[in-house]
Amino acid sequence: MRFAEALRQPGLTAIAEVKRRSPSAGDLRPDADPAALAVAFERSRSAAVSILVDERFGGSFDDLRAARAATELPLLAKGFFSTRAHLEEARESGADAVLLLLRDLDDPTALQLLRAAQELELDALVEAHDKDELRRAVRVDAEVIGINARDLTTFEIDRIAQLELVSQAPRDRVIVAESGIVSRAQGAAAELAGADAVLVGSTLMRAPDPAAKLAELVSRPLVKVCGLTREEDVAVGAEAGADMAGFILVEESPRRAAEVLPVPETMLSVAVHVGEYKDHGTDLVQLYEQQQGTVRGRDAVLLRNGEVVARALDLPWEESDPEHLARAAQADGRVMLAGRLGPDNVRAAIEAVQPWAVDAASRLEREPGIKDHEKVRAFVEAAR
């Protein structure tokens, strides 16, 4: 399978990177075995593997050859390539794709290298760091565009700027969010902004089990704990591994939050409204239909910057529906499943629906708006 084709598979895909050291962080995994890691990443359903071939990162083309002998996954050769000879060496060493850094290439050179890559049957990951470079990537007709959150001069990470660029990229290209992803929530944020894939290196190399960390980052469903009103409950949700924190900002709700509370970087914040969209600066807004005579309508949409990115399929307010799971299982697109989920039934619900996310509130409480910490932990564990 081609590199670009592998990244276009449904859902958020991942490129796992083998990187012994980083100029910004120093040694990461000096003893990294590219062959063993490539095999492990393939078992963890990585779409492709990136191999650093530059000595500044502790890499070489021997690493690429070793990975090629061990796996059939598409391999991305990452280096500072500027000539056809560089691409030829990458191809001969087993690469399926090469990195082209627009920071170091003018447009004529980038076009020459893209033509050379095509002649050599290589895909190219054309990397951009700002709006100008994104425009240039589109102008040279790059099929796969990487948006790097790391400034290669200062080495600082700016995920907000990265997400803005990802959201501006053309949807007919393969978009890869690179650098700075350490949690499922951060990967999901890139996905919802429009990324097809994430490239993860340092986070994996620092993990005791890189393949297990990769599987964790791309695993679904995401887990949302909703109806939060206290900072200590947010902290327990984060510690348990929940990916989203929900704050109900509806006057009539028995678990109304006075405000949106701070959440850690490992979680996405979600403001829940009924009838009217309001921006509280949260990562997402969950907007229910207004229904006369009840607090809310049945279903909701999940919005990012006002754009629908998923649907929340719920039970009617204070009613049941024996066809709820069957109905949700037939839905297309990203589905966040809600409706009296708890530790005892969430696993069966996941198996029946295969949702993108699960959402629980009332059955994780001691009383409305006050979470039972053991139930929160049990719910997240069962959903995983």
For 117-129, the pLDDT digits (tens) are: 999 999 999 999 9
Burial of 106 (0-12, 13-18, 19+ CB in 10 A): exposed
Is residue 224 among the annotated active site residues? Answer: no
Is residue 131 among the annotated active site residues? Answer: no
pTM: 0.93
Q: Rounded to whole angstroms, how far apart are CA atoms 178 and 370?
A: 38
**Which member of 19, 213, 224, 375 is catalytic?**
19
Q: Do the beta carbons of residue 228 and residue 245 sit within 8 Å?
A: yes
Give the per-residue pLDDT at 121. Answer: 97
Give the per-residue pLDDT at 67. Answer: 98
* Segment 246-251 mean pLDDT: 94
Amino acid (one-letter) located at 300: A
* Segment 136-158 mean pLDDT: 90
- Percent of the chain scoring above 90 in pLDDT: 89
Is residue 148 among the annotated active site residues? Answer: yes
| For residue 299, pLDDT beyond 80 | yes
Give the per-residue pLDDT at 56. Answer: 86
**Which member of 44, 46, 93, 127 is catalytic?**
127
**Which member of 22, 78, 89, 375 is catalytic?**
78
**Which member of 133, 178, 191, 365 is catalytic?**
178
Of 187, 253, 252, 130, the closest CA to residue 14 belongs to: 187
**Which member of 22, 44, 50, 148 is catalytic?**
148
Give the per-residue pLDDT at 142. Answer: 97
Give the per-residue pLDDT at 107. Answer: 97
| For residue 293, pLDDT beyond 90 | no
Q: Rounded to whole angstroms, how far apart are CA atoms 129 and 148?
A: 5
* Segment 259-275 mean pLDDT: 96
Alpha-carbon 241 to chain mean position: 15
| For residue 98, pLDDT beyond 80 | yes
- Digit-coded pLDDT (tens) for 17-34: 999 998 777 888 989 999
Lowest average pLDDT, out of 21-30, 97-106, 306-315, goes to: 21-30
- Domains, the chain, ordered by start: 3-218 (3.20.20.70), 222-383 (3.20.20.70)
Is residue 320 among the annotated active site residues? Answer: no
* Segment 320-345 mean pLDDT: 96
Q: Rounded to whole angstroms, how far apart are CA atoms 309 and 191?
A: 9
**Which member of 179, 183, 202, 269 is catalytic?**
179
Is residue 24 among the annotated active site residues? Answer: no
Q: Do the beta carbons of residue 70 and residue 62 sit within 8 Å?
A: no
| For residue 383, pLDDT beyond 80 | yes
Of 156, 186, 174, the closest CA to residue 25 belongs to: 156
| For residue 267, pLDDT beyond 80 | yes
| For residue 7, pLDDT beyond 80 | yes
